[in-house]
Chains A and B, each alone.
Chain A
């Protein structure tokens, strides 16, 4: 019996020690929001000296639990005009802001920008041509030409697809893959 008692005491002591003894701090590494995008930016220029930047910015980007601030610029352009457009994606939650476009271009074959205009033709519409190519000479559309239609209002949807199954797609559905960013700009042709 004595031996049993000894063992029992030892075990109880051990249990008390390992349940009661808690460390003062638990290491808490700072989590990193991976590959965050907060902003889709259109840099629009033309030969006539037009030079404007339009932002679609969601403060919390993605993965936030609240919506945060949203800034959506109206894309105000002249009707019946050709523009050179460069699209950029940024992480503006960092300081200084990080240009994610470089990563997209580095992995250009795994990405595709898709431009959609609503309406597709007529007043307030934009048509797209001369999209830039990726490193395997398939569409990437990071640089593209806008040709505006007649005066009116519409909307422009810019989607960045990751690993699209169809690089020649004109809509996100056709493209497959995963949506990394989708910006819907109001369009005013005036």
Chain B
């Protein structure tokens, strides 16, 4: 029954773009003790499936869960050297709960050591649970993440989007897919991350620089996509998700099946698949030509778990075809200006599922093998992964051809060895080594885009936490070395010139958290991160079709180094109001950006040239949220996010930074009968300001000025329907209900077309479970 019940609170979070957690008003004091002597245990990491939240006990073995809604919850407890413990609890009112964990030795039971559940960083972190992910099915992963305060998107229309954390995106963000750094080819705004959101149990975001734990590039933050642990009790369970979207007539179907063998209790597996297909989408008054999408993804996992050791094999395949609005590829500056001046799309269209040029085809495969051993010293883990990313771009061609004009392959191998040591005195932590080897190759006859390159890297890191009375101090250090070799065709005869780079860097993190009172927690973290320049920043030499400009790489770029300070206060005021205030400031040395240069004459006319340059950037901002429970059924959450991004050298604003935004969500939830539970109606309103913080030379770089602010309203209703013993979750959501015309500053299509109009989404979720007998 457990998987079924995991989904119990589904309806509360089905709301599109709802808050990261539904605010109800139950407070639970949790105490974790050792089975035999009853002594409090710390640190123990606790995870609740239903909320996706993770907690750590203090030195008294305690932690507090705020603002829970009534319902059934599954708790998981992890502590190195202790048995994994899972337990389901029904919670109806504020209370204290006590859990017992057994020492590994002498306890003949299974153990789960989930490397992904413990994150070892005190840094500002927000999560979306699996229910919140499936409640947004049909959207891009980046779009889903926008529900998290401080996260926005940079997009190319409605189908291609990348997450932006505190103003930073692309190569400045690390995405972890099932614990593995996603190595796909994100060379530009039109290259979205290649991941299936249905693969994950929850999606979470770490805001701010985090290189110590996650390696190079984690300047803006980290996105973690984590599948739930494999089944550890015998039986079957699974889930089917279906969604239909009106705007682009998109259908999404995703299913997952989990099994654990009765006769081989150590063995479990999971099979998962997703299919998604949509046609041209609609902006108020018009269809948008060639914006269809098709996605075919599947994954499989097999796990072998014994008392003190185990192994897991995981494979996932992601396959997408994406159309790109024909009108966004312009021939020269004149064409671009004509498109900007036009009020309606210059390329007229009807509805169609057909994909024409320009389009992209991307395949991403991930194979991961992981093994762990639990010893008296702690838990040892070894993880190897191979990733294959293949990107094809089909340009508009004069002569008819079936060939792609770009066929890029990126192969990456990574290895991680990690020891999470058992608590020593009041110290707990981990040490590890990372290795990476990467190759990027083009195909004969491709258009010039990137040089072939390969790189190798190695790193050594340690993160330790000291647990004091009601406070925790965390420190981490990491040393990275990377070597990089590129073969760049240059000059009139395109002779290949070899370049070699060596980079090394020391990163650190320091965090301090203190529970001032039971209802007030204060966390301060200082961290840093670095990023070596990417191939496109070093070598790019050509036209940016979507922007009608030429971008020129700079072979002398130095690595970026970021220093981040974050202060977060989480405070509860009585039973009704809870607040989360986070203030951050980040200084990035050698921040890489594009500076406009001279015009050059081509056979298509004059083009503006943009050169990759470096400056020092200073990003300061705040994310605020407050949740108020009017009563048991009615909840309101308000959020605000502000960012001030400065060029510290030129004393000017940085270009292309997300505008300030406000949002408000109100949800009413009630049970009508035993057949109709958790019925809800929810309204979501948000206002995005016009970005007025633009560089003083903006008009010379970009045209037109950032679009006006806009106000959007979404409405959602849904319910849990019990048919026999089978629960069904059904919901209907109307996004942009007033069919508002608007453009967003971080959308590359802002020059050409509006954002999508009203989109009505019907979603159905069917969890199922067949167990031989009750567990736990």
Chain A residues within 8 Å of B, Cβ to Cβ: 1, 4, 7-8, 11-12, 14-15, 18-20, 22, 26-35, 37-40, 58, 60-67, 70, 93, 100, 103-104, 106-107, 110-111, 161-163, 165, 172-173, 176-183
Contacts and interface: CB of A to CB of B under 8 A. Distances in A.
A56 B724 CA distance: 78
Nearest to A23: B454
Most B CB contacts (10 A, CB to CB) among A12, A62, A93 go to: A62
B550 A65 contact: yes
B552 interface: yes
B456 A19 contact: yes
A139 B506 CA distance: 65
Contact of A165 (B347, B397, B439): B347
Nearest to A176: B346
Interface in B410-460: 413, 415, 417, 433, 435-437, 439, 441-449, 452-454, 456-458
Interface in B602-622: 602-605, 609
Interface string B358-385: 0000000000000101010000101010
Given A27-B441, A67-B601, A178-B330, 13 more contacts: A19-B435, A30-B444, A31-B445, A31-B494, A38-B603, A58-B602, A107-B400, A162-B396, A163-B396, A176-B338, A178-B331, A179-B604, A180-B604
B398 A162 contact: yes
Given A62-B603, A66-B600, A182-B605, A8 B380 contact: yes
A178 B448 CA distance: 20
A31 B334 contact: no
Contact of B373 (A4, A22, A39, A161): A4
B202 interface: no
Nearest to B495: A30
Given A28-B452, A28-B487, A70-B601, A176 B442 contact: no
15 contacts: A1-B375, A7-B382, A18-B413, A20-B456, A26-B441, A28-B487, A29-B446, A30-B444, A33-B447, A38-B603, A61-B602, A63-B448, A111-B398, A172-B338, A181-B603
Contacts of B605: 179, 182
A12 B452 contact: no
Contacts of B542: 63, 65
Nearest to A62: B602
B496 A172 contact: no
Contacts of A4: 373, 375, 380
Contact of A28 (B492, B496, B600, B604): B496
A58 B543 contact: no
Contacts of B380: 4, 8
A138 to B, nearest CB: 17
Contacts of B371: 7
> Among A14, A26, A33, which residue has the most Cβ atoms of chain B within 10 A?
A26
Contacts of A107: 398-400
Given A15-B433, A31-B446, A33-B448, A7 B373 contact: yes
A65 B335 contact: no
Residue among A30, A31, A161, A181 with max Cβ neighbours from chain B (10 Å): A31
Contacts of A11: 382, 415, 417
Nearest to B407: A29
A31 B437 contact: no
B452 A65 contact: no
B92 interface: no
Contacts of B600: 64, 66-67
A39 to B, nearest CB: 8
Nearest to A93: B492
